[in-house]
Amino acid sequence: MQINKEQPIGIFDSGIGGLTVAHAIRTLMPEESLLYFGDTAHLPYGDKSEAAIQAYSVKIADVLLRRQCKVIVIACNSASSAAYNLLKEYVHRSVEVINVIDPMVDLVVGKFANQSVGLIGTRRTIQSGIYAEKINARQAGITLKSLATPLLVPMIEEGFFNNQISDKIIHEYLDDPHLKGIEALVLGCTHYPLVKEEIASFFSKRIAVLDSSEVVAQSLRDYLRQAGLLNVKRSAPDHFLVSDYTESFEASTKQFFRESVHLEKYALWG
Ligand code: DGL
């Protein structure tokens, strides 16, 4: 398939959490057009089986390819852990696939060698053990302490952040003895940047709280540049598709993308 730089960047997540990554991409590369797919009909992915997430991801990749995306960004840790390898194989003759885990692993290995690093994420991401596997393979002497924090996604989706309820839930999770002594904390879910400040405050800003949106945007830009696919002038407006539509989703997109966007319904199984 012939790819040209004017084609959009395809981005997907289980819902609107990946808009945190889309926003970082938009900020770093204002000349690019984005096509975002939020699989709101199947949210949350964090509690789904690996097989289910793989099936959704393949369907979404088909949509993004049909809409001529020049690259696919999996803006979701749960889907990156469950479906990245499969998706790469599925589309490898057509386009490159970027996940949110590898750029974060590079950052952690580069900055926190021989230190103790915490990781929070959905059950799917934590149970997959993928961060530990990739970090250990780099032999940087990092001790990774992982903790599933499954309430955070529904809490954020319901608009509970920067208030007493979210503070209480975050406190309850981060107080876990397993996380004692960490020198950095990886936010292993693209919803979590919305509570990054609260998390940093819990640690009295003593440790680094690492969110993947910027490193993913940078790694995408590196790829596009090296492949000669970096756009120089925006050729189309951004487009946002969701597999199920509610007004509340549309309202909360503003918090994730930091500007209003119009969501268009696109049923995955027509
Ligand atoms: N935002 C997604 C992630 O990074 C997951 C949220 C969900 O459970 O659907 O894992």
Do 228 and 180 fall into the same domain? no
Do 123 and 179 fall into the same domain? yes
Do 134 and 62 fall into the same domain? no
Do 118 and 191 fall into the same domain? yes
Do 195 and 139 fall into the same domain? yes
Q: Which atom of ligand 1 is nearest to the CA of 188?
A: 4
**Does residue 37 come out as left (phi exceeding 0), alpha (psi in the -120 to 50 range) or beta?**
beta
**b/e for 88-99, b at 16 or more Cβ within 10 A?**
eebbeebbbbbb
pTM over 0.75, yes/no: yes
Distance CA 218, CA 241 (A): 24
Q: Tell me, what's the pLDDT at 92?
A: 79
Do 82 and 169 fall into the same domain? no
Answer yes or no: is 1 within a domain: no
Neighbours of 165 (CB within 10 A): 11
Close Cβ partners of 159 (under 8 Å, ≥ 6 residues apart): 252, 255
Quick check: is 189 catalytic?
A: yes
Strand stretches in the chain, DSSP E: 9-13, 34-38, 71-74, 96-99, 116-121, 143-148, 184-188, 208-211, 239-242, 263-265
Of 212, 235, 256, the last residue of a domain is 212
Do 176 and 219 fall into the same domain? no
The domain in which residue 111 lies consists of: 102-212
Please give the average pLDDT of every successive group of 10 residues along the chain, which has 270 residues.
Answer: 92 95 97 97 95 98 97 98 97 92 98 98 98 98 98 90 94 98 98 96 96 97 97 94 89 89 89
Q: How many distinct structural domains can be found in the chain?
A: 2
Do 112 and 93 fall into the same domain? no
Catalytic-labelled residue, pool 11, 76, 98, 210 = 76
Q: Tell me, what's the pLDDT at 270?
A: 67
Of 212, 231, 248, the last residue of a domain is 212
Answer yes or no: is 80 within a domain: yes
Q: Tell me, what's the pLDDT at 74?
A: 98
Cβ of 109 closer than 6 Å to ligand 1, yes or no, is: no
Do 221 and 95 fall into the same domain? yes
Q: Tell me, what's the pLDDT at 246?
A: 83
Quick check: is 69 catalytic?
A: no
Query: Residue 116 sits in a domain of what CATH number?
Result: 3.40.50.1860
Cβ of 76 closer than 6 Å to ligand 1, yes or no, is: yes
Phi and psi at 113, nearest 5°, equal -55, 140
Answer yes or no: is 2 within a domain: no
Do 199 and 240 fall into the same domain? no
Do 95 and 17 fall into the same domain? yes
Q: Which atom of ligand 1 is nearest to the CA of 189?
A: 4
Answer yes or no: is 270 within a domain: no
Cβ of 256 closer than 6 Å to ligand 1, yes or no, is: no
Distance CA 185, CA 250 (A): 30
Do 138 and 207 fall into the same domain? yes
Cβ of 39 closer than 6 Å to ligand 1, yes or no, is: no
Dihedral over Cα of 151, 152, 155, 157: its sign = negative
